[in-house]
Amino acid sequence: MYDEEQSERLEEDSLAIAKELQDLQLAGVAAAQGVADA
């Protein structure tokens, strides 16, 4: 597996990237507004 430092970093990064995916999802909603059939 990973050492303790690597493991903690992976856990932290997973939370940060999940948030970035959520922000991207919202950016997509904003982009689609006003565009027919987007």
Partner 1 sequence: MFLTHGAGRRLGTLQTALREIFRYFPSSQAVVVPRDDLFIAQIHLQAFILNVSGVFDNWAWAFVHRHGLLAAIGDRRRVGMFISYTEEHLPAPLRDYLRQAHIRTWYSQYHKDYRDALAHRIPVHIPPAYFTEEEAQRHEELEAQKAQLIQAQDWQQLNVVWAEQDALGVPCPLFVHEYQIQGGAPYLHPQLLSDAKTVVEFGNLFYEAWQADQ
Give me the residues that bind partner 1 (CB under 8 A), please. Answer: 1-2, 4, 6-8, 10-11, 13-14, 17-18, 20-22, 24-25, 27-32, 34-35, 37-38
Q: Could you write out the three-class secondary structure of the chain?
A: CCCHHHHHHHHHHHHHHHHHHHHHHHHHHHHHCCCCCC
Q: Least distance to partner 1 from the beta carbon of 24, Å?
A: 5
Q: Least distance to partner 1 from the beta carbon of 36, Å?
A: 9
**10: Cα within 13 Å, side-chain hemisphere:** 7
Q: Least distance to partner 1 from the beta carbon of 16, Å?
A: 9
